[in-house]
Amino acid sequence: MTQGTAQVLAGPPAAAALLDEARRRAARLPHPPHLALVRVGEDPASVSYVRGKAKKASEVGLSSHVHALPGDTTQADLLALIGTLNADPAVSGILVQLPLPAHLDPAPVLLAVNPAKDVDGLHPANTGALWNAHEGLRPCTPAGIMALLAHHGVPVRGARVVVVGRSALVGRPVAGLLLNADATVTVAHRATPDLGAVTRGADILIVAAGQAHLITPDMVRPGATVVDVGINRVPTEDGRGRLTGDVHPDVAQVAGALTPVPGGVGPMTVAQLLMNTVIAAERQHAQPEVTGELVR
Ligand code: NAD
């Protein structure tokens, strides 16, 4: 790998700042915000992610509980648990860890979560609020990307931003957040012809395609800020594999600033989840009526 020259936009200090803010705001509430983590089955990655979220929650003074359901849980039982958590005023936020086992349909499950407790920000009420620039809970990775840019002083207002990827989880919501922040946004995807011609127009290039090293130096405007959201496992000689992003390492020769993988966007996602739990708790404290069963 060649030695890069781009400024490194490190995730850990930006995540630490977000966690500090979450800790400070949580301490001002009469009760610690509570995060309900719902996991179905024993998928090892999900077990590890949920454990990590619970550990970080306690580090910032939030309480949490892991609702670990057996792998053969029915859709009705899962929906019943969501209903109980929606109605429980002690629960500030609900996160259903995806993917669910194949026999369960995630769409009705995500729809069942009370939007006021939807700390993943994926309920249509929250995605609609995002696109209309109304108050709501924002999806964690996109909001984390915005916090990362802000932490490192990258101005978004007026910037030409290209987002590569249009998933519900990353590409679409980050495009919405950027529009709300007065960026000029272009969204590219799998069917975009001559991707490089589009990406070269970006002052800020955000790549969430899930394709290792899709973005090569010739596709980047000199001095641009590049945010690499991709997490790809590539094979290594020892057979263990290693993580790499969607951006080729040589892009560091051209870009003005670049997020590393790992250690860039990754740490922002969990930090934003906890921030969302605090935001949800603050709003529920101010308006307890929106947390009950009647609001969907
Ligand atoms: P996805 O597969 O749902 O969506 C990928 C998008 O990229 C699609 O819209 C597709 O059209 C586009 N795309 C794919 N190949 C392309 C190509 N060759 N040219 C142009 N566009 C192309 O993926 P996702 O859920 O949005 O995740 C994207 C990546 O981000 C993955 O590597 C994922 O692991 C990673 N991710 C990271 C975090 C984090 O916390 N850092 C969070 C979520 C996702």
Torsion-angle region of residue 229: left (phi > 0), alpha (psi -120 to 50) or beta?
Answer: alpha
Q: Which amino acid is at 70?
A: P
Expressed in angstroms and rounded, the spacing between residue 165 Cα and the centre of ligand 1 is 6
In the sheet that holds 34-40, the strands lie side by side as: 63-69, 34-40, 93-96
Expressed in angstroms and rounded, the spacing between residue 138 Cα and the centre of ligand 1 is 18
Binding region: 165-167, 231
Ligand 1 atom 40: residue of nearest CA: 266
What distance in Å separates the CA atoms of residue 284 and residue 268, rounded to the nearest whole number?
24
Q: Which phi and psi (to 5°) does residue 68 adopt?
A: -95, 110
For residue 2, give Cα distances in angstroms to 95, 102, 236, 253: 41, 43, 19, 8
Our answer to whether residue 272 is catalytic in this structure is: no
Asked whether the bond before 115 is cis by omega within 30 degrees of 0, the reply is no
Ligand 1 and 169: CB distance under 6 A: yes
Mutate to test the pocket of ligand 1, among 170, 186, 211 (most ligand atoms within 8 A of CB): 170
Expressed in angstroms and rounded, the spacing between residue 270 Cα and the centre of ligand 1 is 18
Mutate to test the pocket of ligand 1, among 53, 148, 187, 189 (most ligand atoms within 8 A of CB): 189
What distance in Å separates the CA atoms of residue 159 and residue 140, rounded to the nearest whole number?
22
Expressed in angstroms and rounded, the spacing between residue 70 Cα and the centre of ligand 1 is 30
For position 105, what pLDDT does the model report? 97
Q: Give 253's strand partners.
A: none
Binding region for NADP(+): 165-167, 231
DSSP state of 250: G
What are the tokens at 22?
Answer: 């979450």
Q: Point out the residues of the chain with pLDDT beneath 70.
A: 1-4, 290-296
What distance in Å separates the CA atoms of residue 52 and residue 56, rounded to the nearest whole number?
6
For position 296, what pLDDT does the model report? 35
For position 182, what pLDDT does the model report? 98
Ligand 1 and 103: CB distance under 6 A: no
Asked if 161 and 202 count as a contact pair (C-beta separation under 8 A), the reply is: yes
Our answer to whether residue 53 is catalytic in this structure is: yes
Quick check: helix, strand or coil at residue 118?
strand
Residue from 56, 97, 117, 284 carrying the catalytic annotation? 97
What is the reported pTM?
0.95
**Domains in the chain: ranges and CATH:** 21-123+269-288 (3.40.50.10860), 139-265 (3.40.50.720)
What distance in Å separates the CA atoms of residue 251 and residue 15, rounded to the nearest whole number?
24
Ligand 1 and 208: CB distance under 6 A: yes
Query: Would the ipTM clear 0.95, i.e. be above it?
Result: yes
DSSP state of 277: H
For position 289, what pLDDT does the model report? 74
Name the E strands within the chain. Answer: 7-8, 34-40, 63-69, 93-96, 160-164, 184-188, 204-207, 225-228, 232-234, 242-244, 257-258
Our answer to whether residue 287 is catalytic in this structure is: no
What are the tokens at 247?
Answer: 């951006």
Ligand 1 and 167: CB distance under 6 A: yes
Terminal Cα distance for the chain, rounded: 51
For position 2, what pLDDT does the model report? 45
Residue from 56, 118, 120, 284 carrying the catalytic annotation? 120
For position 292, what pLDDT does the model report? 52
